[in-house]
Structure 1
């Protein structure tokens, strides 16, 4: 059930997440308010407030840990874009030390690979992933031929550079696919809803709903969860990984290829 709810949450457009969550939180608080009015026990309001404080503290910890997890994954994806651009550029320069025909052929293969890596491939983009894998195989075959024209030290340097390109490419694809588990996000939403239920329950003990103050709290909670989802989703939202390093490299390599043919 949790897995199904997590899939549903992932399908909700990011812009609609705050409205959906605030609605759920208001409903949970209202249910808690009415349950206390009908079935409230003889406990004091201070005791019930202590339970609410504990629940909100645990919720804050969950929000903090989940936000940190999403931010770390986002930062990893950002760093891998720059690293892959640097690795391809280094391999391209070292391929320039290889005499023709193998050196220029390897450089063209690296340039073609950079063109398809200008954006981070998503897990569902099977054609793009297959093209990238095919070009990596092509780069490796060209490198194997090119290293035969170099002495031992320069050949090892070339192979190391090309190997870094292949490793970083795979790591970048895996980093885009790695997200905060949907079950964690769904349990976070459920726990937040339970905290709102307890808030309504405690407010009933005090005799007032305090809709304005509660609404501000619900909006802040919803925006925080939306921010976590925004960091975690690589394809949509306002916080996207900057791909300019790879785009600039692809443009530079294409320009160099044009100059080489003049």
Structure 2
């Protein structure tokens, strides 16, 4: 199991506690280092540097949060796009001749169920298996389309194949954006380094005043940074604990498959009164 997978498996509340503990530890180290300084005017000279670092950290946090939020929005949009594409493919199975029509519909029904990711403790183990099975079903659907070319008009088969191609492309896009489209390690390293420098410098600034830690202000200060960093971590993770990417478009599609596959007989329009 890779490092990123191990980190993703941690509870987001545990991540929050770890970040909070590390920030408090960094602040305490800076405070203790400054406590040994005898110059009581030291905090006045270090103040502008602490302010400048805090501003730079806020800028990097804003960029990272925007990046994580954008990726999260892409993941949400791609689920809607995938549901629409699969629904179109299901409808176009009507263009195929039997027995390829029925077999393709059976494969698509299983495919839709696989694409719904349940946010459970087993979700992380489920996703790789679902991806592998989805790709097997894609091959089986393509084989059905190839076998149907002798009994289906070329122009009708082409419509179905176009939808099937779009469905396969959406799968690749969802895997890459959902599983591999993460915030780069270089950005995390820069953010971590800036956080360390900013928090430690603030600890030094407080300690240089020789007036105590001011825990009433220090704890909310550490908690605020912890919450923002944890929120970015949560938005970047494929498997969410709090901010869940809705699977409702795929769930709605699964619930409507019967009506998409089975022709519906409409009631006749009521006659107009004379």
Specify if TM > 0.5: yes
Q: What is the alpha-carbon distance in structure 1 between the residues aligned to residue 139 and residue 6 of structure 2?
A: 38
Partner in structure 2 of residue 19 of structure 1: 17
Q: What is the alpha-carbon distance in structure 2 between the residues aligned to residue 207 and residue 199 of structure 1?
A: 13
Q: What is the alpha-carbon distance in structure 2 between the residues aligned to residue 61 and residue 9 of structure 1?
A: 25
Matched, 1:181 2:179: no
Unaligned runs of 5+ in 2: 265-274
TM-score, length-scaled by structure 2: 0.82
Shift of 1:100: 2.3
Select between 71-80 and 50-59 the one with higher mean Cα deviation. Answer: 71-80
Q: Could you report, residue by residue, the CA deviation over 1:71-98 in whole angstroms, capped at 9, with x for unpaired residues?
A: 1221111111111111111011111122
Partner in structure 2 of residue 249 of structure 1: 253
Select between 217-226 and 206-215 the one with higher mean Cα deviation. Answer: 206-215
Partner in structure 1 of residue 269 of structure 2: none
Unaligned runs of 5+ in 1: none
Partner in structure 2 of residue 55 of structure 1: 53
Partner in structure 2 of residue 136 of structure 1: 138
Q: Is the 8 A contact 1:108 1:257 kept in 2?
A: no
Select between 34-43 and 240-249 the one with higher mean Cα deviation. Answer: 34-43
Partner in structure 2 of residue 157 of structure 1: 159
Matched, 1:194 2:194: no
Q: Is the 8 A contact 1:147 1:159 kept in 2?
A: no
Q: Could you report, residue by residue, the CA deviation over 1:30-54 in whole angstroms, capped at 9, with x for unpaired residues?
A: 2212212214668653331110011
Q: Counterpart of 1:96 in 2: which secondary structure?
A: helix
Shift of 1:117: 1.2
Q: Is the 8 A contact 1:96 1:107 kept in 2?
A: no
Matched, 1:99 2:97: yes
Matched, 1:171 2:167: no
